[in-house]
A and B are shown apart, each in its own frame.
Chain A
Amino acid sequence: MKKYIVISIMVIILFYIPMFKLFSDLFVKAFNFGLMLYWIVLTLVAVFIGIKTLKRLIGEAL
């Protein structure tokens, strides 16, 4: 459970990486829609973890 929460926080922090120009330029250079793709992938990961945590919590702890 704690593991999932830590990963979730890490994923949310990763949303802020493109604030650094070096990284955002890198994403866009690699692929024109790289930055969009980056945020979309992070969102999907967060959704996956959120639902996984939910399944565990609702199935066991409550």
Chain B
Amino acid sequence: MKELYVAVLVFFFVMGTIIAWLSRRYLGKGSREFFVGGYKIGGFISAMTYAATTYSAFMMVGLVGLTFASGVAALGFELVYLASTVVILGSIGPVIWYEARRRGWVSSSEMLSDLYGSRYVGIIVSLVYLFTLVPYTAAQLKGVGEIFNSINLGYEYGVIFAFIAIAFWILIAGLWSVATTDAFQGIWMLGSSIAVAIWSILFLLSASNIDYNMFVNILSNSSSGNLLSFIWSPQMFIGLTIPWIFFALTNPQVVQRLYIPKDRKAYMKMVKYFALYGFIYTVICVLLGMVFRVYIAFNNVDVEGILLKNRDSVTPYMLTLTHPLLAAIAYVGITAAAISTANSIVLSVSSSIVRDLYERIVVKPNEKTSKVVSTASILSLLILASITAIMKVGYIVELSVISSAGLLPLAPITIAAIIRKKDMNRYSYIYAIASILLGEAILIYAIAVHGISKALTAPLLLQLPSPIWILLASALFVIPITIKR
């Protein structure tokens, strides 16, 4: 197994590097080329990079485990994200795409500072990205480390491999190499998950002679309750879904993806293909969780108890039952999901540092120095995330989960800015900054009251979880911005 995984991983890395290298021919000069590919990316590549960036290792590990433990509610959680994202991509997205090329936006913090006419907005937003997305990146690196660890390759080597792949694939040609390798990785992620799903149905279920009636019966009468019904608490469902509904507007790595399609047709293709990809991938991951729960409940009740206590080990355990080659391909698929998410985050946070922290503070920024700052910020972010992952700093995973809530205050100010882009009040930026600070203050309060692991899902006030209050409080301050004078 170890040798097979290494062989498949080497093949994956070599292929990715060849693709990244070939994409160099498209790279022009300047930070606009490096960070957003000069707004010249085709529809298919745009869609695949959007999908591979959005869908991290959480899908094949976290979502499969979540479905295994708590049933069909996990599907609702993931599909409400997909549905709201497509709605945002269809309504607000085209405006962002159009304005990005008209106004020359590169980073998403630059979009906000430009729309609010204040560099302070850009600086604060960049800092929010830094604090929220470094743990998220570290969690992706930790995921690769855990995969290496589970096949006795050493946790640290996994983190180092991810570091090298991410740094290499970003620095070769910026967005061009990231987007093209994302497309390759996205195809691998989807292909490997489909292969595992087919295997689970053809081999796991039929080997145990589990038919449709038995399948339904086991899920309906599981030790966790009726897994075909809704068994989450409303607070958990609201707390986890609210930040994800606005993910497409708050996370810089996906906002930046809205800038890149080369024309209207490419943008349209991006949305259509992403919707298709997201739908198939989500259904497959949920199906895997359900099929494996039925199989385990039927064959091995002792293991069921162990897996329920540690749901992130559901997929690794499931893969021990497959053919080693399929397991190796699936493990590399999970590695790809982690790398494709992390490299986009690093590239996008680095673009914020260059455009909103360096180029706005320095009086006369030149292209050469900007390039040096880009490389330095990419490597610094990666080193920071790698150290956090290697030191196994407590709460990395929890911090990465609440990063979505940390970015939530950016949703109301983004929507308000897009609505009022033509005639923004000169003091609007003060409301925007207040909106961000209040939202973050509520999140910090929720963490202080409930701890990091329960900050999103425990009721904060009136039985409602913190994300609702973060959203409402942040929205309160943008009301003056949206009202017409």
Do B79 and A40 have beta carbons less than 8 Å apart?
yes
Q: Which of B82, B95, B230, B286 makes the CB contact (< 8 A) with A18?
A: B230
Q: How far is the CA of A24 from the CA of B91 in the complex (A)?
A: 30
CB distance from A58 to the nearest CB of B (A): 5
A:4-62 near B, CB below 8 Å: 4-5, 8, 11-12, 15-16, 18-19, 21, 24-25, 27-28, 32-33, 35-36, 39-40, 42-44, 46-47, 49-55, 57-59, 61-62
Determine whether B72 belongs to the interface, using a CB cutoff of 8 Å to chain A.
yes
Query: Closest residue to A15 on the B side, CB-wise?
Result: B80
Q: B298 on the interface (CB 8 Å rule)?
A: no
Distance, CA A39 to CA B264, complexed state (A):
30
A33 and B272 alpha carbons, distance in the complex (Å): 26
In the complex the two chains form, what is the Cα distance from A10 to B410 in whole Å?
A: 23
A57 to B230, CA, bound (A): 37
| Chain B interface, number of residues (Cβ within 8 angstroms) | 40
Q: Which of B84, B86, B228 contacts A33 (CB 8 A)?
A: B228
B164 part of interface (Cβ distance < 8 Å): no
Q: Is B83 in the interface zone, CB < 8 Å from A?
A: yes
| Chain A CB within 8 A of B296 CB | no
Q: Are A57 and B279 in contact (CB under 8 A)?
A: no
Most B-side CB within 10 Å, residue of A32, A36, A50, A59: A50
- Give the contacts of B95-115 with A (CB-CB under 8 A): 95, 98
- In the bound complex, CA of A54 to CA of B184 (Å): 27
Known contacts A8-B91, A28-B228, A42-B79: does B237 contact A51 (CB below 8 Å)?
A: no
What is the distance, in angstroms, from B388's C-beta to the closest C-beta of chain A? 34
Tell me which residues across on chain B come within 8 A of A19, comparing CB atoms. 230, 232, 234, 237-238
B172 at the interface (CB under 8 A from A): no
Known contacts A15-B241, A50-B87, A58-B94; 11 additional CB pairs below 8 A are A4-B91, A15-B83, A16-B80, A35-B230, A40-B75, A44-B279, A46-B84, A51-B86, A51-B275, A57-B91, A61-B94
